[in-house]
């Protein structure tokens, strides 16, 4: 326990590392009662406060109560969960989807179990005709929940350089000699960079090497693609080997996570994933809210258009100021500052001007590449974008004093 006490004492002297701002409301993109505009919220389409979504959540509360009470397997299944899974599967061009309590739990639950499904299925009487080994091939910038899910699986893991398909292929070729079935895992949109995974190349490699391909579309669901279907719809790239995970707490404005797959794979996940079988799904009221959010996603495409219009407007206005973004492919616009202390000073200066922007540092960003992570929102107004650009122009003029 002495180490834990030492860490607790150290944290008291370094509040910047665990500073949690208490808010009256979540930003949409403005916090009610606070003169602060958020450029850090993942509520991309401003659906969390949409009247139809809020009303549907209220109806769900009145019909189903506050919580489900138990996991779905022993008796906590509801028709509304199956309806939501069917809608999510259709959005992803898959025949089925499996609902989890959160996106984090989806990654832990699926990645920890699919490579040992045969062992877990033995508990139900299954006997494998042949023993199979698996190995994970993971982008080095993947989300921590992916890394933890792979670690829990106990399978071999190889990290490939971020977005480097040549490096990935060399690892796949080397791994083929060991006889393990490969599972390639990548974020669809990388949350700290804003880059998009090269999905067509990943699918081609997966199909050629007989691999499964697992894509974490947390930041792409509802955002990328003509209908918000995510990375696969963005590229028009679909494959039976593709497993598409998504979160329901970002663009869709509520809570939960899912993985969209073909029906036979969904059956395997439901049988073997402890995170599905021994944990409650999101409350029924959240499922009701999400069904309404999917309706709005379909019926109000102007929301997604407004998000992208705001993204392009911000990029164009920032261009003359000399700042460099890691990528301009998505609504996540990460501006590299460099040292942690300098990045924190930028964030504090912005906060004083009524603008909230996340300062990202190691381990979420490489050492020496701390960054301001601007996240655009369909609810941002032209005046709010004007204001943040004006403040960034002022900060560019006093950059020497911030360093």
Q: Which CATH number do you get for residue 312?
A: 3.90.1150.10
Residue 4 lies in a domain: no
Alpha-carbon span 84 to 290, nearest angstrom: 7
Same domain for 270 and 191: yes
Domain membership flag for residue 8:
no
Distances (CA, A) of 52 to 27, 134, 284, 285, 334: 18, 45, 16, 13, 32
- The parent domain of residue 69 ranges over 51-298
Please give the Cα distance from 387 to 210 (Å, whole number): 51
Asked if residue 27 is part of any domain, the answer here is yes
Of 261, 281, 298, which one is at a domain's C-terminal end?
298
Per the domain annotation, does 323 fall within a domain? yes
- Position 362 scores a pLDDT of 84
Tokens at 96, concatenated: 């089925």
Statement to judge: residues 268 and 344 lie in one domain: no
The CA–CA distances, whole Å, from 342 to 11, 322, 338, 348, 349 equal 20, 17, 7, 10, 11
Q: Are residues 326 and 254 in the same domain?
A: no
- Residue 1 domain-assigned (yes or no): no
* Shared domain check, 305 and 273: no
Structure confidence at residue 126 (pLDDT)? 83
Is 236 found in the same domain as 275?
A: yes
Is residue 12 in some structural domain? no
Residue 251 lies in a domain: yes
Q: Are residues 179 and 214 in the same domain?
A: yes
Contact between 55 and 264 (Cβ < 8 Å): no
Asked if residue 13 is part of any domain, the answer here is no
Q: Which tokens belong to 298? A: 């379909």
pTM comes to 0.93
- Chunked into runs of 10 residues, the chain (403 residues) has average pLDDT values of 78 64 68 81 95 97 86 85 98 97 97 90 80 93 96 96 97 88 97 96 97 98 97 96 97 96 95 92 96 98 97 96 94 93 92 92 85 96 96 80 55
Q: Which domain-ending residue is among 263, 298, 333?
A: 298
| 252 & 160 share domain | yes
Query: φ and ψ at 246, to 5 degrees?
Result: -145, 160
Do 200 and 79 lie in a common domain? yes
Question: What is d(CA 104, CA 247) in angstroms, rounded to the nearest whole number?
Answer: 8
Mutual orientation of helices 144-153 and 103-111 as an angle, nearest 10°?
A: 30
In DSSP terms, 372 is beta-bridged to 335, 359
Between CA 279 and CA 291 the distance in angstroms is 21
Task: Point out the domain boundary residue: 257, 277, 298.
Answer: 298
CA-CA distance, 320 to 380, in Å (whole number)? 21
Per-residue pLDDT tens digits for 244-296: 999 999 999 999 999 999 999 999 999 999 999 999 899 999 999 999 999 99
376 and 345 fall within a common domain: yes
DSSP, residue by residue, 274-306: HHHHTS--S-HHHHHHHHHHHHHHHH-HHHHHH
Please check whether residues 291 and 236 belong to one and the same domain.
yes
| 195 and 69, same domain (yes or no) | yes
**Domain holding 70: CATH number?**
3.40.640.10
Dig out the tokens for 392 from the structure.
């960034």
Strand order in the sheet with 370-375: 332-338, 370-375, 358-360
Indicate the number of domains in the chain.
2
């Amino acid at each position: 326990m002495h180490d834990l006490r030492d860490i607790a004492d150290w944290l008291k002297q370094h509040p910047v590392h665990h500073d949690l701002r208490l808010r009256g409301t979540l930003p949409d993109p403005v916090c009610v009662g606070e003169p602060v505009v958020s450029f850090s919220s993942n509520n991309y389409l401003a659906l969390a406060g949409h009247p139809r979504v809020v009303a549907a959540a209220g109806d769900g509360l009145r019909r189903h109560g506050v919580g489900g009470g138990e996991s779905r397997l022993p008796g906590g299944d509801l028709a509304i969960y199956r309806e939501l899974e069917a809608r999510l599967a259709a959005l992803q061009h898959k025949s089925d989807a499996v609902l989890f309590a959160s996106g984090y739990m989806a990654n832990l639950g699926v990645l920890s179990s699919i490579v040992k499904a045969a062992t877990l299925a033995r508990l139900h009487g299954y006997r494998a005709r042949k023993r199979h080994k698996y190995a994970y091939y993971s982008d080095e910038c993947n989300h921590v929940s992916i890394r933890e899910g792979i670690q829990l699986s106990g399978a071999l893991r190889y990290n490939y350089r971020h977005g480097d398909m040549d490096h990935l292929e060399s690892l796949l070729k080397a791994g083929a000699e060991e006889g393990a079935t490969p599972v390639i895992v990548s974020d669809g949109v990388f949350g700290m960079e804003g880059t998009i995974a090269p999905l067509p190349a990943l699918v081609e490699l997966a199909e050629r090497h007989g691999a499964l391909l697992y894509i974490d579309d947390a930041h792409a669901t509802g955002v990328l693609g003509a209908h918000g279907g995510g990375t696969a719809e963005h590229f028009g790239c679909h494959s039976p080997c593709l497993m598409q995970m998504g979160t329901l707490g970002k663009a869709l404005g509520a809570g939960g996570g899912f993985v969209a797959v073909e029906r036979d794979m969904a059956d395997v996940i439901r049988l073997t994933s402890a995170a599905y079988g021994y944990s409650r799904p999101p409350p029924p009221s959240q499922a009701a809210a999400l069904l309404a959010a999917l309706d709005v996603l379909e019926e109000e495409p102007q929301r997604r258009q407004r998000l992208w219009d705001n993204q392009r407007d911000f990029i164009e206005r920032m261009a003359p100021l000399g700042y460099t973004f890691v990528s301009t492919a998505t609504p996540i616009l990460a501006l590299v500052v460099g040292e942690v202390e300098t990045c924190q000073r930028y964030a504090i200066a912005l906060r004083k001007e009524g603008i909230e922007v996340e300062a990202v540092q190691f381990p979420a960003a490489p050492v020496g590449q701390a960054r301001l992570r601007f996240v655009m929102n369909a609810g941002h107004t032209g005046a709010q974008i004007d204001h943040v650009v004006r403040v960034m122009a002022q900060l560019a003029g006093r950059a020497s004093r911030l360093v």
